[in-house]
Amino acid sequence: DIQMTQSPSSLSASVGDRVTITCRASQSISNYLNWYQQKPGKAPKLLIYAASSLQSGVPSRFSGSGSGTDFTLTISSLQPEDFATYYCQQSYSTPPETFGQGTKVDIK
Amino acid sequence: QLQLQESGPGLVKPSETLSLTCSVSGGSVSSKSYYWGWIRQPPGKGLEWIGSLFYSGTTYYNPSLESRLSISMDTSKHHFSLKLSSVTAADTAVYYCARAMIFGSLVPYYYAMDVWGQGTTVTVSS
Residue A73's pLDDT band, with cuts at 50, 70 and 90, is: very high
Summarize pLDDT for B27-80 with one digit per residue, the tens. Answer: 888 888 999 999 999 999 999 999 999 998 999 999 999 999 999 998 777 999
| A59 residue type, one letter | P
Order of strands across the sheet that contains A62-67: A4-7, A19-25, A70-75, A62-67
Beta-carbon separation of B47 and A96 below 8 A: no
Residue A72 C-beta-side C-alpha neighbours within 13 Å: 7
pLDDT over 90, % of chain A: 98
Residues paired with residue A46 on neighbouring β-strands, in sequence order: A36
The predicted structure's pLDDT at residue B68: 98
A27-59 per-position pLDDT tens digit = 999 999 999 999 999 999 999 999 999 999 999
Among A36, A95, A100, whose Cβ lies nearest the Cβ of B61? A95
Return the CA Rg of chain A: 13
Cβ of A49 under 8 Å from any chain B Cβ?
A: yes
Q: Which residues contact B65 (CB under 8 A, 6 or more apart)?
A: B50, B51, B84
Q: How many CB atoms lie within 10 A of CB A106?
A: 11
Most B CBs within 10 Å, among A3, A54, A91, to test the B interface: A91
**Percent of chain B with pLDDT strictly greater than 70:** 100
